[in-house]
Amino acid sequence: MSHSDDEQVLPLAAGEHSPVPGAVKIASQDMAGRSHTTRTKARLAALDILFEADLLESDLLDSLTRRMDDPEITVREFTQQIVAGVRDYQRDIDARINSASARDWPIERMPRIDRNIARIAVWELDHTDTDLKVIISEALEMAAELSTDDSEKFLNGLLASAAADHRNARPPEEEDQDEY
């Protein structure tokens, strides 16, 4: 299988398996020359679905289903996990975001793109094993590319606070494992 000039084959991570024989993990560059991994693309697709549902005030799964029903669009499994996870835990996620945000800046006042980036990051923080640095870095990259000039700084503070709350809420035996 050949890959276009803007795609680079990446090695699989330890413990990562090809979903089908011969499949490879690739990174590709967008029109601005930025490189995106498959998981980054999945996050961006999830953000698109979350933003659409937020804008149209529709159910997240309806937006996801419309995408999945379109034969021209491939919806990655990780995109589906993010969208379903945010929908299932949205009340808790939004409460965490409000708690981590400045007191006078509730989630309803945030730009739609920012609150949905934050929702993805908080869901990932709470429901995946993805490294904290990767979660925050990916969120800040999306904010830098897609939102306001102040969004990256705002989300960095918000997600740092959410991460600190998450870390403090973990059982002590989990914290001990990190020290070794």
Q: What is the pLDDT of residues 65-89, one digit of tens each?
A: 999 999 998 899 999 999 999 999 9
Q: Which amino acid is at 103?
A: R
* Model confidence at 173: pLDDT above 50: no
| Selected residue with higher pLDDT from 37 and 133 | 133
Please determine, for residue 107, whether its predicted confidence score (pLDDT) is greater than 90: yes
Q: Tokens 């979350």 — which residue?
A: 50
pLDDT value for 142: 96
**pLDDT of 144 above 80:** yes
Please provide the distance, in angstroms rounded to a whole number, between the alpha carbons at the two ends of the chain: 43
93 in the same domain as 21: no
The total number of structural domains that make up the chain:
2
Residue 98 lies in a domain: yes
**Residue 31 belongs to a domain:** yes
Mark whether 108 and 138 lie in a shared domain.
Answer: yes
Q: What percent of the chain has pLDDT over 70?
A: 72
Residues 108, 61 share a domain = yes
Structural domain span for residue 21: 1-36
pLDDT given at position 37: 82
pLDDT at 179: 44
In the chain, helix, strand, coil percent, each to 5? 65, 5, 30
Distance CA 129, CA 135 (A): 10
Separation CA 180–CA 166 (nearest Å): 20
- For residue 54, the model assigns a pLDDT of 96
Domain identity same for 52 and 141: yes
The percent of residues above 90 in pLDDT, for the chain, comes to 64
Where is pLDDT greater, at 127 or 176? 127
CA distance 134 to 90: 21
Report pLDDT for 104: 72
pTM of the model: 0.75
User: Where does 57-171 have alpha helices with state H?
Assistant: 60-69, 77-100, 112-127, 132-146, 151-169
Q: With 0-12 CB in 10 A as exposed, 13-18 as middle and 19+ as buried, what is 54? A: middle
Task: Provide the pLDDT for residue 102.
Answer: 73
Q: In the predicted model, is pLDDT for residue 157 greater than 80?
A: yes
